[in-house]
């Protein structure tokens, strides 16, 4: 019988949601629609990326450039590299499973 420890990333390992929504708010603001991170949560949280793009296009009143997704991803990853930190205690929790053999 295979055993596995599986957990979601956001809010369990690190809180990436605030960083991603901050980047999204900045980008929409740069598209000339002032947007706070709270607005980003309200408008985009829990949606698929395609739905987010559609919502942004409605908000700004025009089609986004084809490079939008790549630019958003690059800026978000840069934000993660600079500011993403583990949730308190997650390293210690994961270390408790260091004795578990991984493999087939």
| Average confidence (pLDDT) over 66-90 | 93
- At residue 28, φ and ψ (nearest 5 deg) are -65, -40
| Average confidence (pLDDT) over 35-60 | 95
pLDDT at 4 over 70: no
pLDDT at 39 over 70: yes
How much is the pLDDT for 97? Answer: 78
How much is the pLDDT for 10? Answer: 60
Residue 74 and residue 19: Cα distance in Å, rounded? 13
| Average confidence (pLDDT) over 97-101 | 73
pLDDT, mean over the chain = 87
Strand partners for 14:
10, 86
How much is the pLDDT for 9? Answer: 59
Residue 48 and residue 35: Cα distance in Å, rounded? 19
How much is the pLDDT for 99? Answer: 76
How much is the pLDDT for 44? Answer: 93
């Amino acid at each position: 019988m295979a055993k596995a420890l599986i957990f979601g990333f956001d809010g369990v390992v690190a809180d990436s949601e605030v960083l991603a929504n901050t980047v999204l708010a900045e980008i929409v603001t740069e598209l000339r629609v002032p947007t706070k991170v709270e607005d980003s949560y309200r408008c985009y949280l829990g949606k698929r990326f395609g739905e987010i793009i559609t919502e942004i296009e409605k908000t700004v009143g025009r089609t986004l450039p084809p490079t939008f997704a790549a630019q958003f991803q690059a800026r978000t990853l840069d934000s993660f590299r600079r500011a993403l930190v583990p949730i308190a205690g997650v390293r210690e929790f994961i270390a408790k499973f260091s004795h578990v053999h991984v493999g087939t």
